Amino acid sequence: MAEKAPRLDSTLASLLDRRRQRGQLRSLTTVPPGTVDFSSNDYLSLSSQPAVQQAFLARLQDAAVHPPGNGIITNTTNPVTNSTSPNPLLNPPSLLGSGGSRLLDGNSPRAEALEHFLASHHRAPAALLFNSAMDANVGLFGCVPQPGDAIVYDELIHASVHDGMRASRAGRKVGFAHGVVWERLEVRQGGGRSLEGVLRDLTRGEEGAGFRLGEKNVFVAVEGVYSMDGDVAPLVDVVECVEQVLDRGNGYVIVDEAHSAGIFGECGRGLVCELGLENRVWARVIGFGKAIGCAGGMVLCSSTTRDYLINYARTLIYTTAMSFPSLASIETAYEFLAAGHAQPLLTQLRSLIQETYRLLVALCVRHQPPPRLLRLGIERLHSPVIPVLTSKPRDLARFCQQRGFMVRPIVAPTVPNGEERIRVCLHAKNTVGEVQGLVTAIEEWVLEAMSTKRREETVTSRKTGSTGVDIVTRPSRDSKM
């Protein structure tokens, strides 16, 4: 007899069905062998570089022969002299697991040395490793803002920052229109509040006295590169706006560089370094899972902030620390970057970005597809992420996948309703031929969809006796070519 499902399963199944009906159901998939990657975040293809792989394996082999120290020493008795002395060989460190959280047995000289190296590379006073950039954001935003402080964030900020804000004790959390810094740009950009407008609102009146006088802090959260739209934050303007409105020095800019580290700045130091803002940005969150080609994350900050996070960041305190292989992979990737070996990969990537954008623009000009069917979601290209907006993202993604090109559909709630898309992610290992093949597949899908639409309109016209169909589309901020 089949086991009766508990009532909770019925409730959960109903919620899943509701999401399925909206076309928003998520599921786990695997990439078929031989598929061309236009989906992953490994922009520089470091994880598949033979030189990087060989250096990483050599590190593991060396550690197996000469185990790395983990700071744990056992006192043993010498049977000849009857005296005690340290003998680390009786308690050899593990190459697989770290043994606990950083505050217990999971810390190691290697982890601390890596943090010093990473801080130096990114020109920051200090660094603190986390198991992921999400953990870093949740830990940072969850514990640093104090009661009465405010967090102001770009409306497209990553979900991990929202999770951190939910845990935060900050009194106010206010979003501003994506990429809109100055008040004079509010109307031009569609009426959303600008960063300047939000900050000035915080400082007005009796309630704003604390912010105005510098007694309360404002944390401003932006990303270097936005993962869904591929655009770059106007970071110089953001910093200048914060310094101008909060002139008592109580404005603190936090930049999530998960998608800009490795791509921007000399030797992949990131957007903050490229713009020379290291001393004007309070904290940076770096993710290792994108262009760095590894896993994990870190916060770049002051030494005092690092000590505070060690004491209060729950995502650091209550989780097992990185194992040796994770630390070794980060070391290997950063040594490759620091030596300048990634420059040819970056040159290849930038060339592919421009060629892909050129081909997609030409496709749109050639066939003039309705904006709801296909449009580019960005006017200028500076990153490997190209959003191709469509009302049928799953259909388009499936069409491309069937032809051997892995792109993913991005639907609500990951992006707002009406801004569904496929996201084309480019990599240094992609070729011009692969890019041409992907754009050809997209073009074939567009022509097929437009032909189907015309046939449907003809049938409707014959049934109703009308001579044509007027199509009215709502203007969109992303519809400009």
Task: Reply yes or no on domain 31-45+344-461 having CATH 1.10.287.90.
Answer: no
Specify the DSSP class assigned to residue 406: E
State the Cα–Cα distance between residues 322 and 114, nearest whole angstrom: 12
Contacts with 71 (C-beta within 8 Å, 6 or more apart), sequence order? 107, 108, 109
pLDDT at 469: 34
pLDDT at 188: 57
pLDDT at 192: 82
CA 233 to chain centre: 13
Contacts with 478 (C-beta within 8 Å, 6 or more apart), sequence order? 375, 376, 377, 378, 387, 389, 419
CA 2 to chain centre: 44
pLDDT at 187: 57
How many of the other CB atoms lie within 10 Å of CB of 263? 25
- In the chain, what are the domain boundaries? 31-45+344-461, 109-338
State the Cα–Cα distance between residues 44 and 41, nearest whole angstrom: 9
- Burial letters 136-149, b for 16+ CB under 10 A, else e: bbbbbbbbbbeeeb
pLDDT at 159: 95
Q: Is the dihedral of CA 160, 166, 171, 174 positive or negative?
A: positive
Specify the DSSP class assigned to residue 371: T
The H or E element spanning position 86 is strand 84-86
SS3 label, residue 153? strand
- Burial letters 371-404, b for 16+ CB under 10 A, else e: bbbbbbbbeebbbbbbbbbbbbbbebbebbbebe
pTM of the model: 0.88
- Given a contact cutoff of 8 angstroms between Cβ atoms, the answer to whether 39 and 406 are in contact is yes
pLDDT at 86: 46
Q: Does the fold of domain 109-338 match that of domain 31-45+344-461? A: no
**What class, spelled out in words, does domain 109-338 have in CATH?**
alpha beta
- Given a contact cutoff of 8 angstroms between Cβ atoms, the answer to whether 286 and 270 are in contact is yes
| Residue whose C-alpha is closest to residue 333's, from 347, 31, 325, 323 | 325
Peptide bond into 384 cis (omega under 30): no
Binned average pLDDT, 10 residues per bin, the chain of 481 residues: 76 94 87 94 96 95 72 38 46 75 93 97 98 98 98 97 97 95 74 91 95 97 96 97 98 98 97 98 98 97 98 97 96 98 97 96 96 90 94 96 96 90 97 98 97 74 50 34 28
State the Cα–Cα distance between residues 300 and 257, nearest whole angstrom: 10
State the Cα–Cα distance between residues 218 and 211, nearest whole angstrom: 7
